[in-house]
Amino acid sequence: MLNINEIREDFPILNKRVYDKQLVYLDNAATTQKPRQVVEKIENGYYNVNANVHRGVHFLSQEATEAHEEARRTVQHFLHARSSNEIIFTRGTTEAINLVASSFTEGCMQAGDEVIISTMEHHSNIVPWQLEAARKGIAIKVIPINDRGELDMEAYRALFSERTRLVSVTHVSNVLGTINPVKEIIAEAHSREVPVLIDGAQSVPHIAVDVQDLDADFYTFSAHKIYGPTGMGVLYGKEAWLDRLPPYQGGGEMIATVTFEKTVFNELPYKFEAGTPDYIGSTALAEALDYVSAIGIDKIAAYEHELLTYATQRLKEIDGMRLFGEAEQKSSVISFLVGDIHHYDMGMLLDRLGIAVRTGHHCAQPLMQRFGIEGTVRASFAFYNTKEEIDALAEGIERVRKMF
């Protein structure tokens, strides 16, 4: 069992009052709150360990470099990667996917080659491929979903052709909460010698991820969704693939030697990290991962599942409730609409009660089109949320419903 009261003490913002009401923060899929330990790590980094990394002979630079590289090893162990060379620091999931889209298309695709994505992708796993489609003429195929919000695996298998070069799908949907069978997805692709990129933005904070067990070729996540800092993220890539791909950006750090005629690129992981990295952000991310590990990701998953089950049951009792995403395997996200109340009105009125939820298309407009809606209200839970907060949400929705 988790001691939620004790955990909440690490997150001072959870005590905040909004409109003179106790804040109920249920927008964790957008970003999570930060524990003191993470904020203190940032403060200590700037006060005591700040120097540019990798290039300095002086004490402080070496200390900063060691902290940054230690953070990389923490990420490596958290994802169960084989080597820290396979961990590339990025600005977030978005940049990580753009990196793969750009470098993979450049290095491994020709006009007419195909990438498979799914109906439930976040825009950040759609638009980068469209940019490549415009630039290089690649084609995008889309896996359909059923009404519960699960991938149609038969249709997935039928999408492969001899032009398929990559599969890029999300592990967990940020709208539906669906946990996709990524191990099976990867095995299917590998049986056709096609590599797979998994968007882990919504999985890494909530369920145990072992990239070697999954056999993922690329895997991404964002620090800010796992109690870490903003502007920091990770691309995991198998060394063999990263070695094969051309760099994404050019500049300092990513080179071995430069003349005006020719540049020899640096070894992994630096080949993909042009410019001064966010060496404070990386150590804060590592602190967040240590925080999560100390609680235990399996305990977190079990508790959040309990919250999801409770919330689903409470919300289903409300007249006119429509839930979007009722997959068998689901993470702690609930998207809904009530009667014909506009999602924006619901969100705004819940906000007045101190309840923070997200409204709109959640950067997944094609998914909204699949369900024939413009948007939903989304409540998403973290391990610091409580059943009392879910009660507040259910009572809040009921109040808004009665107003209409």
Near ligand PMP in 118-157, by CB under 6 A? 122, 124
- Long-range contact set of residues 10-18: C-beta below 8 Å, sequence gap at least 24: 10/35, 10/36, 10/37, 10/291, 11/35, 11/36, 11/384, 12/36, 14/384, 17/354, 18/351, 18/354, 18/356
Least distance from ligand PMP to the Cβ atom of residue 211, Å: 17
Cβ pair 364, 375 in contact under 8 A: no
Complex with ligand PMP: residue 224 or 314, whichever CB lies closer: 224
Q: Considering only the stretches 9-17, 92-100, 135-143, 276-284, report the one whose residues sit in contact with ligand PMP under the rule CB under 6 A.
A: 92-100
Q: Considering only the stretches 198-206, 274-282, 374-382, 391-399, report the one whose residues sit in contact with ligand PMP under the rule CB under 6 A.
A: 198-206
Verify binding: residue 202, ligand PMP, rule CB under 6 A.
Answer: yes
Helix (H) or strand (E) holding 25: strand 24-25
Near ligand PMP in 307-366, by CB under 6 A? 363
Verify binding: residue 273, ligand PMP, rule CB under 6 A.
Answer: no
Least distance from ligand PMP to the Cβ atom of residue 49, Å: 25
Question: How far are the Cα atoms of 132, 319, 400 from residue 404, in angstroms, in the given order?
Answer: 46, 12, 7
Catalytic status, residue 363: yes
Answer for which of 32, 98, 164, 174 binds ligand PMP (CB under 6 A) is 174
Helices (H), 22-173: 36-48, 59-79, 93-108, 127-136, 153-159
Complex with ligand PMP: residue 105 or 174, whichever CB lies closer: 174
The Cα–Cα gap between 61 and 6 comes to 36
Question: What is the distance between the terminal CA atoms of the chain, rounded to a whole angstrom?
Answer: 40
The Cα–Cα gap between 288 and 319 comes to 40
Complex with ligand PMP: residue 164 or 170, whichever CB lies closer: 170
Q: Site for ligand PMP (CB under 6 A): how many residues?
A: 12
Residue 380 identity (one-letter amino acid): S
Least distance from ligand PMP to the Cβ atom of residue 170, Å: 5
Least distance from ligand PMP to the Cβ atom of residue 336, Å: 18
Structure tokens at 248: 């994404």
Least distance from ligand PMP to the Cβ atom of residue 19, Å: 26
Verify binding: residue 68, ligand PMP, rule CB under 6 A.
Answer: no
Least distance from ligand PMP to the Cβ atom of residue 303, Å: 21
Least distance from ligand PMP to the Cβ atom of residue 328, Å: 19
**Active site residue: 363, 365, 373, 401, which one?**
363
Q: Considering only the stretches 143-151, 194-202, 305-313, 335-343, report the one whose residues sit in contact with ligand PMP under the rule CB under 6 A.
A: 194-202
Q: What is the secondary structure of 55-71 as a DSSP string?
A: S--SHHHHHHHHHHHHH
The Cα–Cα gap between 187 and 196 comes to 9
Complex with ligand PMP: residue 74 or 170, whichever CB lies closer: 170
Q: Considering only the stretches 20-28, 90-98, 147-155, 288-296, report the one whose residues sit in contact with ligand PMP under the rule CB under 6 A.
A: 90-98
Structure tokens at 4: 């939620």
- Of 144, 152, 150, give the one whose Cα is nearest residue 172: 150
Answer for which of 28, 33, 85, 94 binds ligand PMP (CB under 6 A) is 94
Near ligand PMP in 215-254, by CB under 6 A? 222
Least distance from ligand PMP to the Cβ atom of residue 231, Å: 9
Maximum Cα interatomic distance, the chain, rounded to a whole number of Å: 72
Structure tokens at 69: 């590289």
Backbone angles phi, psi at 25, to 5 degrees: -95, 105
Cβ pair 202, 221 in contact under 8 A: no
- Of 231, 234, 266, 268, give the one whose Cα is nearest residue 250: 266
The Cα–Cα gap between 331 and 230 comes to 22
Verify binding: residue 92, ligand PMP, rule CB under 6 A.
Answer: yes
Cβ pair 235, 96 in contact under 8 A: yes
Verify binding: residue 380, ligand PMP, rule CB under 6 A.
Answer: no
Answer for which of 86, 113, 132, 199 binds ligand PMP (CB under 6 A) is 199
Complex with ligand PMP: residue 286 or 353, whichever CB lies closer: 286
Verify binding: residue 170, ligand PMP, rule CB under 6 A.
Answer: yes
Verify binding: residue 93, ligand PMP, rule CB under 6 A.
Answer: yes
* Residues with catalytic roles: 363
Q: Which residues here bind ligand PMP, judged by CB under 6 A?
A: 92-94, 122, 124, 170, 174, 199, 201-202, 222, 363
